[in-house]
Amino acid sequence: DAKTTQPPSMDCAEGRAANLPCNHSTISGNEYVYWYRQIHSQGPQYIIHGLKNNETNEMASLIITEDRKSSTLILPHATLRDTAVYYCIVRVVGGGADGLTFGKGTHLIIQP
Amino acid sequence: NAGVTQTPKFQVLKTGQSMTLQCAQDMNHNSMYWYRQDPGMGLRLIYYSASEGTTDKGEVPNGYNVSRLNKREFSLRLESAAPSQTSVYFCASSEFLQSYSNQPQHFGDGTRLSIL
């Protein structure tokens, strides 16, 4: 699976959009981009994933650049409960049922 | 709406003791996983089970054994606990399909294990 690079930490004001970047410059054509988050002491929570088109669900939007070398997770109206570590993970499609490779992620802190 | 349930939530062991961490999922998923998370680090895969009856090693399998008891349950056993195995252990499950494998994993809330 391709390696990802994320900033170690970010701040965002409550009510504003939080934009979390991820670099995956070595991504292959058959690799999906996944985002998970981990709120303190809890298990990771799936947020969204995509291959090459932008995706949106009830939690967030995922914007993938046309060359697929980077992506941005957008939380449109951040709340204090969105304070968490956010993980960007790249994974091969059809590569078997093996696990996810977690880096250190971005610690997003929502400020009141 | 249980999802993935792990027991126990906390455990303290002495070096050399053995124990089994239990995991059960009610989403009818065929793949299950065990991860460990050390302080300040991301999760690392210990073992996984693509389907009932199969298990495979992950990144850090040494010192652990697993059993896929049935489709719902996947247990992790420490035969002789060591202080280096002090960690938070997470179980996860997902729906794995042969034709593609982009389904997300769903995680339990973890077992916090301390080995003295």
Radius of gyration over every alpha carbon of chain B, rounded to an integer in angstroms:
14
Å between B98 CA and nearest CA of chain A: 7
Contact B10, B89 (CB under 8 A): no
* Region B38-59 average pLDDT: 90
Q: Could you give the CA distance from residue A95 to residue A85 in angstroms, rounded to a whole number?
A: 26
- Residue B33 in contact with partner chain A when CB distance is under 8 A: yes
Ordered mean pLDDT values, 10 residues apiece, chain A (112 residues): 88 97 91 92 92 92 95 96 95 70 93 94
Å between B35 CA and nearest CA of chain A: 9
Asked if A46 lies within 8 A of B45 by C-beta distance, the reply is: no
Q: How open is the CA angle B92-A102-B41, to the nearest 5 degrees?
A: 105
Going by C-alpha positions, the residue among A6, A11, A24, A12 that lies closest to residue A86 is A6
Asked if A104 lies within 8 A of B41 by C-beta distance, the reply is: yes
pLDDT tens-digit readout, B61-110: 999 999 998 999 999 999 999 999 999 999 999 986 655 556 789 999 99
Asked if B35 lies within 8 A of A99 by C-beta distance, the reply is: yes
- Residue B70: phi, psi to the nearest 5? -165, -170
